[in-house]
Each structure stands twice: as structure tokens, then as C-alpha cells.
Amino acid sequence: MNTNNVWQKTLDQIKNTVSFSDYNLFFLNTCISSINNDLDKNIIIISCQNYFAKQTLEKKYKKHIKRALDETMGINCTPEFIIHSKGGGQNIQTGPGLFSQETNQILSEKEKENQLNNLIRRANLKPQNTFQNFAVSPTNEVAFAAATAVAKNPGDAYNPLFIYGDVGVGKTHLMQAIGIKLLEENPRLKLIFCPGEQFTNEIIEAIRNKKTPSFREKYRKVDVLLVDDIQFIAGKNTVQEEFFHTFNTIKAVGGQIILTSDRPPQEIKLLEDRLRSRFEEGLNIDIQQPNFELRTAILLIKSKQMGQELPLDIAQDIAQEITSTRKLQGFLTKLFAHINLRNAPISKEIVMYLLKKDLPEENRLQPMVYVSPKEVIKKISKYYDIPLQLILGPRRSKPIVVPRQYAMYLLKTDLKISYVEIGHIFGDRDHTTVMHAVDKVSQNLKKTTNLQAEISELRKQIYT
Amino acid sequence: MIIKTQQKDLINALILTSGFAKNNSQLPILNNVFIKIDKKVMEIQATDLIAATKVRIGVIGEDSLEFLIQANNLLEYLQALNSGEVTMDIAEDKLTVSQIGSKAKFPLIKAGDFPQIKLNQKLVGIKVIGEEFLNAIRWASIAVSIEDNRPALTGLLFQKKDNGNGLMIVGSDGYRLSVADIRFKGDFDGSVLIPCKSLLSIAKEIGNTEVEIFIDRKTNQAYFSASNILVAIRLISEEFPNFKKILPETFQTSVEVEYGDLSSVIKQVSIFARQNANIIKLEIAEKIKISSQEGYAGSGYGELDCKFEGEKLGLGFNFRYLQDYLRSINDGLIKIGFNGQLAPVKLTSEQKPSYIHVIMPVKL
């Protein structure tokens, strides 16, 4: 209960029943000093500025004050008066103190949390890369299941666990989540996380400085080894040799090995066969590019981590336009920076504005040079090496349809020609055909980064 | 009998003891100081039943004698005399004090049953450095609320540090806690709880030389002996709460701020916060933002730079507790450690690393 609010309400009531001058003289600098609920009496101790005020309130206004207090607090109150110098009187803090049970509990919880976080940091892991923060969707659910299984039974379930996929799909996050979970369950676990590059550099340093024994001591005696971007060691024979022995030593005593890479073992060129076969022995699982739902979920999770509430519909808008997870993070940073600098709430307008500035060429690059529709189609036919008549013609085989649809898309988006007109240009096709083509390309653009690259390449070719 | 002594010595002794000899309506005898003269030594004692002081000064005389006298007028008179030698003529029922050109008579009472301090000579004590001891007492007392209805919190806890050779002096009012660490020589077991008010009143007097501390568990007293002063203070029998649990070692968030920056922003915001239960809100990130809640007097806001590590955090404080701490620090870099909104906050000053302060935040 906020005694200030209570007293304010009480004063408001009293104001109407006493003279203006009396109110200002005696009531203004009062406050509730404390409340004692001994037995049935609710004694409200009111602190007054000076002796005169105390006397007056006590003698003249006690009844008024009691009435107002009773009404405000809803219970029978007994006001008493003391004198306190300016401002003071309320040094008293209420609520759980230093020695209360609650505080004790909070402290021991925090101690555990902090110790765990220290372990996590020492193992080179990021505390936010947990299983809870990992958004799951069909594109990564198998990998997620495998990871949780390994976290439950390290050394037993899938060993080694080999996760591969494009940039930014969550391989490192998932791998570190396993590490954090393992440390939570067993703080004494010896766990190392290192990027493949770090492993490489360290072995080279060790050889150079003749410190290989300590290197081996560090890496071979662990219970869990996590190596990120293992493809990095390919082609470096000494490193691969060392890794081979490290791998065997750890596995021989039941240790767990988890690796990530940007491609499956069979596609890593210059990887020694004996390593490739060992990697393939374990579980090789891929993570695909995130779909729309996953991107939305990722946006919501990351916003929360950054201390901001992102409305679902806005997250969806962003997820529509941006497909790469790294770009999602970058966009969020930009968005929140704008919000903070302008002290404005998150609105669709700001998001849309920033999205337009962000999209690759889509709305930003207006064609610098005026190009006629014919030119566009000509350039496309040249690019895909399909004769002009075929593109304009009625044939519907795939190698012809695809460039035709791109052409229709560009004519609509860049040159802003109407559907009907485009239909005309392409040999009297119905405007709905054009609409379908444009839609299809838009949708695909949102899903595939390859297509985005291709379209911007096309644009470059056409407009420059 | 006639004795001679120095005006200054007598004044100092009376100042110290008269502080304990006042306003005791239950035992009027205690409104007096007890004076005992034994040839070349005069001992002046007073007690308020919680603490007792005995001060020794040198006199020129031949006999032994004891009596009781009201200290106030005597003290005032002596202060009005010139410095130098003072003659005291002690008769049956009056004391005559004189100096060249001045003379005054004071009534005195026969020495009845006056409770005298007795220090068991077999006790073994510890030695501390007076100045360190005084500063530590002052530091620990910031957190003590003297008029507390929880007796355990009206005292300062003396306890040996777990590791290392330090004596911890701890004070708390349940919402903040101060710990000071001082060096000591000797053995100290267990812990004792000594009334803070009494300690403060004598600490100044004994604070410039070496102080020896004795604990007599049989009589439940702590004795402080320094040069010519002996003080006995009754221990508090209630138990001090387990404070070690609330001294966090690991932190979720930690910052370093300059005393001056923090102090001035708190001062600004306090003007509005004092109308609102003294609550100020702190937002901790790369900068610290401090604000008062909206009140009918308006609101205040200030920011300051800091060195920030860990997680961002927002929490509330009673600004007076922070100000009390800052006033005792006075300058330099302050390190503050947090563990979320509801856990106690630890403050240490770079300049005084052996002084720790802990404050409980307010739920916003």
C-alpha cells in the first residue's frame, strides 16, 4: 500500500471541509509516517511540520481527519500526530528486508545462476544460445530433436553429431545449446567450444612454440568437444592429423563430439578420407533456411532478448520481406535504434519505412535509365538464351515460362505497366495470367535468396 | 584533604564521564560521577547501566578518599577557569575548587553504593589501532537505527573474519548493512554484539591510541581500555541475524561510477522523491538513469556515465540510504553489484576497500 496515495486521497477529501488558509497552513506539509495494525486499532501516525501544526490538527481537526481516513482506507482508523523536520519522517522502508526468507531465497538462486553463467562464459559459450531461445520449425526440427537427445545422453546417443546448413540457420546456436544444457546438468563437465579456425590456429601456434603437449592436454582430455565450421580444417594436413587423434582419444573414453559445417561431410573437399568416414559414422543432419513462421518466431525471440516488445503483426511484416536471419537481426537493431533515438513507439509506419530502405533494389532502385518494355524482354531473352519469339509466344514449357514470368514481373514492378498492357505485349495474354506470374515471382522472391540474387543480376544487366 | 591537578585533565575526564551521568530517574545516584582519589591517582567514573566509563588522571596529593558529585556545574566552572593548576579541597560535604583569584564551592555526596567498573585481570584481550577502530565504528553505525524495537539491530556485531586476520564490525537496520574490516592482534573467538549508541559516544575519546578490547562472557560485558580510559559496555544478548548470507560474491550486473556524479544526480532527484516515500528509480545500462516517481511536487531525472558490465536492470531505492552511504564515502570510484531487482545490492569504494555497504532495493 502506498501511504502517499492514501494520504493524498485523504487530503483531497479534507480539503473540501476546511478553510483554505487552514489547509495550507497545517495540512500541506503532512504525510503518513507509519501505520500500526496492532490488534483492532489501526493507528495512523501522521507527521506534521511543527508543534503548532500538530496542536491544531490534534485539537481542531482530528475528527475530520479520522472521518476522511476511515473513508479512504475503508477501515476504522485512529490518527495520531508527531512532529518531524522537513521532508523526513519516511526513512522507513517497508517490504522484505535483508534478512528475510524471500531475500535469502533470491540470493541463493542468483548465486547458482551466476555460477552457471560463469561456467558458460569460461567454456566460450554465449549464455543466450539456449534450447529455450531456439525457435523450432519443420526446417530444423530433426536437428533440434537430435540435439536434445545428445544433451540428455552425451556420448551415447549420436556420436559424433554433425550439423550442417547455410549461413545463419542456427547451427552454432543449436550446438551451444547442447553445451549449455550439459553444463547445467553437470557443472563439473569438461567442455570446450571452439571455431574450426581457432582449433587450426592453436595447433599451428603450439607446433611453432613447441607446446604441443599442453595443446593435447587441453583438447584431448575433455568430456565434450564442440567444433564450429569444421570445414575450415580441410586441406590443412597437420591440423587434420591432430584433429583425427583428438577425435579418437575423446571418443574412445565415451566423450561426445559435436561438429558443424556449411556442407555435409561428403561435400567437404580436401577432407581426409579417414575424417570423412568418421564424420559420416555419426548422425549427419541438416538445417534448412527458415520459413516464414520461423522467421517470425525468431524476430519475437530476438526482440525480447533486446528488451523490446515486438507486436506479432509487425514481426510478420518484417518476416515477409526479409529472409536471411542475419538481416533480421540487423533490421531489428536498426529498428530499435530508430525507436530509441526518436523516443517513439514501434509502429507499422516506421517499420514499413525502414523496410523500404532496406530491401535489395526492390523499391529503392528506380531504373536510372528509361528502358522500353521491348528492351527489357530483349535483355531477358539474351540472358536466358531463349529467342524473343519464344518468350512472347504461347509455349508453356518450363525453360520458357520462367524467363517469361520474370519479364512480366519486372515490367510490372519496375516499369509499372498495367497488367492488361503487359498481357498485350505478351501476345494478348489475359491480365490474370500476368497477375499470376507477378504473384508467383513475388512469393518466390521472399522465400529464396538465390532468386533475389538472380533478379538483381537481371536488373543490373537491363538497366545499366 | 587537598589535592592539586591540571585543569585540562580534569575537564577532559569530566566531559567523557558526564555524558553517562544524566537523566537517570530510577537510580538518582547515577546522575553523579564517582570520584576516587588514591594518593597520586584520581579516578572518575560514571555509568548509565548500559555503559560505564572510568578515566584516570594524575594528581598531587597524599591521602585516599572517594565521593560523588554532580558533574555539570563543576565542568562548566572548570571550563571558565584559566588553564594550569587547579586546587581541590575536599571536605565532609563540600568540594572547594580554586585557582589564583577564583574559588567555588560544590556540594558533594558520600560515596554510597556506586556500581564500579571491575576488569577481570585474567582476561586476555585483543589490540586494535584506535583510529582504525573509530572509523570502523562510524562506518558500521551508518546502517544502524538506534531507536529500533529489535534489540539485536541496535548493536554492532564484532566477529572475526573467516579468512585472514581481520575483525569485522557489522551494523544493520534490516534494510541496509555496513561491514568494516580492521586489523587486530590477539585471539578472538565467536562474536559479540555491543550497543552502537554507547560505542559511538566513547569511540571518539579512545580513538587516537591503541585500544585493548576484553570480552567477559561471565559478566556479559565488553571492556575497552586505551591510555587512561576504561569503558565497560553491556553486551546485547539477542542474536544478530546471519549477515554473511547477504554479502553476495557474484553479480548479474555491475557498474563503476564516480562519487561526484552519483551524488549530484541523487541530490537533484531527491527533491522530488522525498514527497514520494523517498523512492527513486534506477535504470542501469551503459548509462545510469535516475528518476523520481511523478508526485504532486513534480518529478526529477538525471543520468550519469558508468562502466557497465552484465545485464541491464531497473530497480528502486530509498534515496536516503544511498545518500547516507555516499556521505560516508566522500570521494572516488564506487563499485556497485546487483543481482536483479529484488536482491540486496553491494557497494564498495575503491578508496576504502575494507568498507562494504549493502542496501536492499525497494519493490517498484
Contact A303, A319 (CB under 8 A): no
Residue in chain B nearest A115 by alpha carbon:
B250
Q: What percent of chain B has pLDDT over 90?
A: 61
B32 vs A85: which has the higher pLDDT: B32
**Res A6 pLDDT > 90:** no
Q: Is B148 exposed, middle or buried (0-12, 13-18, 19+ CB in 10 A)?
A: middle
**CB contacts, 8 Å: B252 with chain A:** 110, 113-114, 117
Any B CB within 8 A of A80 CB: no
CA distance B160 to B180: 11
> Do the chains contact at B321 and A4, CB–CB below 8 Å?
no
Q: CA B147, B149, B155: angle at the middle one, nearest 5?
A: 65
The alpha carbon of residue A187 is apart from the nearest alpha carbon of chain B, in Å, by: 16
DSSP string, B188-233: --SEEEEEHHHHHHHHHHHTTSEEEEEEETTTTEEEEEETTEEEEE
What's the CA gap between B29 and A441, in Å, rounded? Answer: 105
Instruction: Establish, for the pair of chains A and B, how many residue pairs have beta carbons separated by less than 8 Å.
Output: 82
Edge-to-edge, what's the strand order for the sheet holding B85-90? B2-6, B85-90, B94-99, B102-107
Edge-to-edge order in the sheet of strand A31-36: A31-36, A42-48, A77-83
Q: Could you report the per-residue pLDDT of B44-59, keeping only the tens digit for each?
A: 999 988 899 999 999 9
Chain A residue with CA closest to B241: the answer is: A99
DSSP strands (E only) in A49-132: 77-83
CA-based radius of gyration for chain A: 35
Residue of A99, A103, A117, A118 to mutate, interface with B, max B Cβ within 10 Å:
A99
Nearest-angstrom CA–CA distance, B330 and B349: 10
DSSP label at B59? -
Q: What residues have CB less than 8 Å from B238, skipping those under 6 apart? A: B150, B151, B152, B193
Is pLDDT at A38 greater than 80 in this prediction?
A: no
Q: What sign does the CA torsion over A322, A328, A331, A335 have?
A: positive
Which grid coordinates belong to B76?
A: 562548566
B339 neighbourhood in chain A, CB within 8 Å: 106-107, 110, 114
Residue B50 Cα distances to A41, B20, B25, angstroms: 34, 9, 15
A370 CB near a chain B CB, below 8 Å?
no
Q: Verify whether the Cβ–Cβ distance A110 to B249 is below 8 Å.
A: no
Distance (Å) from the C-alpha of residue B36 to the closest C-alpha of chain A?
A: 44
- Contact state of B278 with A4 under an 8 Å Cβ cutoff: no
Per-residue pLDDT of A297-337, as tens digits, reads 999 999 988 888 899 988 988 888 888 888 899 999 999 88
Inter-chain touch B252–A110, beta carbons under 8 Å: yes
Among candidate residues B167, B196, B192, the one with its CA nearest the CA of residue B182: B167
In whole angstroms, give the CA distance from residue A233 to residue B218: 76
Q: Which residue has the higher pLDDT, A356 or A415?
A: A415
Mean pLDDT of A10-35: 81
CA distance A28 to chain B (A): 11
How many distinct helices (H) and strands (E) make up chain A?
21, 8
Interface check A345 vs B, CB under 8 A: no
Chain A residues touching residue B243 (CB < 8 angstroms): 98-99
What pLDDT is recorded for position A84? 64
Q: What is the pLDDT at residue A356? A: 78
Judged by CB atoms closer than 8 Å, whether chains meet at A98 and B318 is answered as: no
**Chain B contact present for A305, CB below 8 A:** no
Other Cβ atoms closer than 10 A to A434: 25
DSSP state for residue B253 in the 8-state scheme: E
ipTM: 0.79
Question: For chain A, what is the largest distance between any 2 Cα atoms, rounded to a whole number of angstroms?
Answer: 106
pLDDT tops 70 at residue A367: no
Q: Verify whether the Cβ–Cβ distance B246 to A98 is below 8 Å.
A: yes
Quickly list DSSP for B62-111. Answer: S-EEEEEE-HHHHHHHHHHS-SSEEEEEE-SSEEEEEETTEEEEEE-EE-
Give the separation between CA B209 and CA B227, rounded to whole angstroms. Answer: 7
Q: What is the pLDDT of residues B104-156, one digit of tens each?
A: 999 998 887 888 888 888 899 999 998 999 999 999 999 998 777 788 999 99
CB contact under 8 A, B177 and A98: yes
Whether the per-residue pLDDT at A366 is higher than 70: the answer is: no
Using CA atoms, how far apart are residues A109 and A239, in angstroms rounded to an integer?
A: 43
How far off is chain B from A87, nearest CA to CA, in Å?
Answer: 6
- % of chain A exceeding 70 in pLDDT: 94
Q: Is A24 on the interface with B (CB under 8 A)?
A: no
**pLDDT in the model for residue A39:** 60
> What chain A residue is nearest to B243 in terms of C-alpha separation?
A99
Contact A312, A296 (CB under 8 A): yes
Radius of gyration of chain B (CA): 25
Task: Tell me the per-residue pLDDT of A79-94, one tens digit each, with 9 for 90 and over.
Answer: 888 876 444 444 567 7
Q: Is residue A252's pLDDT more than 80?
A: yes
- CA angle at A437 for the pair A434 and A442, rounded to the nearest 5°: 125
Predicted local distance difference test score (pLDDT) of residue A87 = 40
Rounded Cα–Cα distance for residues A97 and B175 (Å): 5
Residue A177 and residue A145 in contact, taking contact as beta carbons nearer than 8 Å? no
pTM as predicted? 0.66
Residues of chain B with Cβ-Cβ distance to A104 below 8 Å are: 245-246
Task: Render pLDDT for A147-160 as a digit per residue (tens, 0 to 9).
Answer: 999 999 998 889 99
- Yes or no, beta carbons of B252 and A91 under 8 Å apart: no
The separation between CA B40 and the C-alpha centre of its own chain, rounded to angstroms, equals: 33
To the nearest whole number, what is the mean pLDDT of chain A?
Answer: 87
Q: In what order do the strands lie in the sheet with B126-129?
A: B109-110, B64-69, B33-38, B41-47, B51-58, B229-234, B221-226, B210-216, B126-129
Residue B230 confidence class, pLDDT cut points 50, 70, 90? very high
pLDDT of residue A48: 82
Is pLDDT at A363 greater than 50 in this prediction?
no
Write out chain B residues lying below 8 Å of A93, CB-based. 175, 278, 318, 321, 360, 362
Q: What are phi and psi of B56, to 5 degrees?
A: -110, 130
Other CB atoms within 10 A of residue B244 CB: 11
Q: Do B363 and A4 touch (CB under 8 A)?
A: no
Give me the residues of A, 267-296, that contact B with CB < 8 A. none
What is the pLDDT of chain B when averaged over all its residues?
90
Nearest to A97 among B175, B245, B340 (CB): B175
Say whether pLDDT at A394 is over 80: yes
C-alpha cell, A384: 536466358
Residues of B in contact with A97 (CB under 8 A): 174-175, 360
In total, chain B counts a number of residues equal to: 364
Locate the chain A residue with the closest alpha carbon to B271: A87
Most confident of A20-34, A48-62, A247-261: A247-261
Using CB atoms, pick whichever of B245, B274, B320 lies closest to residue A104: B245
- B295 band by pLDDT with thresholds 50, 70 and 90: confident
Cell numbers given for B238: 539477542
pLDDT band at A4 (very low <50, low <70, confident <90, very high): confident
Let me know if A184 is exposed, middle or buried by CB neighbors in 10 A (0-12, 13-18, 19+): middle
How far from A273 is each of A131, A234, A267, A277, A281, CA to CA, in Å? 33, 11, 12, 6, 12
For A75: left if phi > 0, alpha if psi spans -120 to 50, otherwise beta; the answer is beta
A98 close to B (CB below 8 A) = yes
Q: Look at residue A245 and give its three-state secondary structure.
A: helix
Asked whether the beta carbons of A192 and A224 are under 8 A apart, the reply is yes
Cβ pair B321, B136 in contact under 8 A: no
Is 70 exceeded by the pLDDT of residue A362? no
Return all residues near A129 (Cβ < 8 A) that are at least 6 apart: A172, A173, A176, A177, A180
Q: Greater confidence, A96 or A129?
A: A129
The kind and range of the H/E element at B328 are: helix B319-329
Report yes or no: A97 and A61 within 8 Å, Cβ to Cβ: no
Report the pLDDT value the prediction gives residue A2, as an integer from 0 to 100: 67
A366 touches B at CB < 8 Å: no
Among A267, A256, A258, smallest CA distance to A161 is for: A258
Q: CB burial class (10 A; 0-12, 13-18, 19+) of residue B158?
A: buried
Measure CB to CB from residue B246 to each of A2, A87, A103 and give the nearest one: A103
Yes or no, beta carbons of A93 and B340 under 8 Å apart:
no
The pLDDT score that the predictor gives to residue A364 is 47
What does DSSP say about strands B355-359 and B345-349: parallel, antiparallel, or unpaired?
Answer: antiparallel
CA distance linking residue B274 with residue B277, whole number of Å: 6
- The H-assigned helical ranges of A211-323 are 212-220, 237-252, 273-281, 292-305, 312-321
Please write the tens of the pLDDT for every residue from B302-338.
999 999 998 899 999 999 999 999 988 878 999 999 9
